[in-house]
């Protein structure tokens, strides 16, 4: 069972309803592989819940959803929604 952790160890990738930790050192490769690295560097990635810009500091989750890739920031409210989605997914 994953718990919310203020001192996050890495970013999370949701895959088929399961959360996987992605370490900071791997995140650029991951973003590149899903075609989002440029958007991330340009500050064009938004949280799917609160619409905040995703940055290195507030990044929490990547959620592939069909053809779309969604992102979630590290606010407790947003992260909680993602965990709820994982639990029911």
Binding stretches for Zn ion (CB under 5 A): 47, 49-50, 73, 75, 78
What token pair was written down for 75? 């606010």
Torsions phi, psi of 67, nearest 5? -80, -15
Please, what is the minimum distance in Å from the beta carbon of residue 69 to Zn ion? 15
Please, what is the minimum distance in Å from the beta carbon of residue 39 to Zn ion? 16
β-strand partners of 64: 69
> Quick one: 37 or 49, whose CB is closer to Zn ion?
49
Please, what is the minimum distance in Å from the beta carbon of residue 55 to Zn ion? 12
Q: Shortest CA distance to 49 belongs to which of 22, 31, 30, 74?
A: 74
């Amino acid at each position: 069972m994953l718990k919310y952790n203020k001192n996050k160890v890495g970013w999370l990738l949701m895959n088929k309803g399961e959360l996987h930790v992605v370490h900071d050192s791997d995140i650029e490769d991951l973003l590149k592989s899903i075609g989002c690295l440029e958007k991330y560097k340009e500050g064009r990635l938004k949280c799917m819940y609160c619409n905040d810009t995703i940055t290195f500091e507030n990044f929490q989750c990547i959620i592939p959803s069909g053809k779309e890739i969604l992102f979630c920031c590290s606010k407790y409210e947003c992260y909680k929604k993602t965990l709820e989605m994982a639990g029911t997914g």
